[in-house]
Amino acid sequence: MGAAPDEGESTPSASPAREGSAASTGTRTTPSAGWALLGSEISVLFRRRRTWVMLIALAAIPILIAVAVRISSAGSTPGRGPAFLGQITNNGLFVGLVALIICVPLFLPLTVGVVAGDTIAGEASSGTLRYLLVAPVGRGRLLLVKFVAAATFCVAATLVIVIAGAAIGAALFPVGPVTLLSGDTVSLGEAGVRALLIAAYVTLSLLGLTAIGLFISTLTDIPVGAMAATVVFAIISQVLDSLPQLDWLHPWLFTHYWLNFADLLRQPIDWSSFGSNALLQLAYIAVFGALAYGRFSTKDVLS
């Protein structure tokens, strides 16, 4: 997948740090070794061409939306198309919001699935997993490092959409005080705070999927399989969430609160969905993190 050369260049650069910390402290699982590994993991992730392509593709979505709305002469009818689409011509800051609404069901899970599904299976398939396990960090901590690195990608992916949306919106449309869902108007500064809150909400929403991807990634040595399975999980969950006959199941689906980030655009802010979403995602992280630990720490690593 083009991952192997990157890994090849990263492993030598990271390993002296690992050996150094192990030698200096004399213990095998030191916090500094974990932090060094995390730093190298994140830098490997963000030096990959694949990561950049995904981030650029995500940034292209708000740009496409903004350009399409700008060049279409027909005024958009409120109530048609994705929510908030009609508000873009009045206020460019809504571009990022529309882009998030479009990205949350499919594009974000797709990119997160690629990153999370690759975590362990990618190392296994390129033969670098055993070198990672030589490092003086336990397998549990290695999983944690992988998860945090994938979570960093979630933050980056969401921020890219929000920032690219705000930038292109400000470039093509007037920008002013933002109208909330409740009909109240807030200043640009508060709108910025709310946009960051929404980014935090969406990032949080993706962490459960990241944990699922991490677990699936420990099951196989084929990264593409793990990526596809993770994305399929996200889609199945959303399909189940749209069936009214499965009402009882809905609060347990990790996608259930994905689009409720608009609750942060009410006046006053409705924090209940933020709280429920956080609890739900934490539960998914705990369950699938534990499953991943059980699987990975008992796995025979041969490659």
Partner 1 sequence: MTANSGSSNNAASGSAASGKAASGRWKRWVPAAVIPVVIAGAAIAVPLSANATSSLPTKTPQEVLELIGNSSVTAFSGTVEQTANLGLPELPAGVSSSSLGGGSATSGPSSSTPDPAGSSGAPGASASTGSDSSAATVSSALEMLTGTHTARVYVGGPTSQRVQVLDQLAETDVVRNGSDVWVYDSSKQTAEHTTLPAKSATPGTGEAGAPDATVQSPAELAQTLLADVDPTTNVSVGGDVTVAGRSAYDLILTPQATDTLVGSVSIAVDSATGLPLQVNVTARGAAATAFTTGFTSLSLDTPSSDLFTFTPPAGTTVTEKAAPTAPAAPGAGQAAPGSAPSDAQKPIVTGTGWDAIVELPAGADSASLTSNPLLAELTSPVTGGHLLTTTLVNVLVTDDGRVFAGSVSADQLQAAAAAAAK
Binding residues for partner 1, rule: CB under 8 A, are 28-29, 78-79, 83-84, 86-87, 90-91, 101, 130, 133-134, 136-141, 176, 179, 181-185, 242-244, 259-260, 262-263, 266-268, 270, 272, 283, 286-287, 290-291, 293-294, 297-302
Can you read off the two tokens belonging to residue 8?
A: 């090849």
Q: Cβ 302 to partner 1, closest distance in Å?
A: 7
Q: Cβ 298 to partner 1, closest distance in Å?
A: 5
Q: Cβ 69 to partner 1, closest distance in Å?
A: 14
- Is 2 or 75 the residue whose CB approaches partner 1 more closely? 75
- Is 67 or 246 the residue whose CB approaches partner 1 more closely? 246
- Is 50 or 70 the residue whose CB approaches partner 1 more closely? 70
- Is 193 or 243 the residue whose CB approaches partner 1 more closely? 243
- Is 16 or 56 the residue whose CB approaches partner 1 more closely? 16
Q: Cβ 52 to partner 1, closest distance in Å?
A: 31
- Specify the amino acid at residue 35: W
- Is 222 or 270 the residue whose CB approaches partner 1 more closely? 270
Q: Cβ 269 to partner 1, closest distance in Å?
A: 11
Q: Cβ 192 to partner 1, closest distance in Å?
A: 18
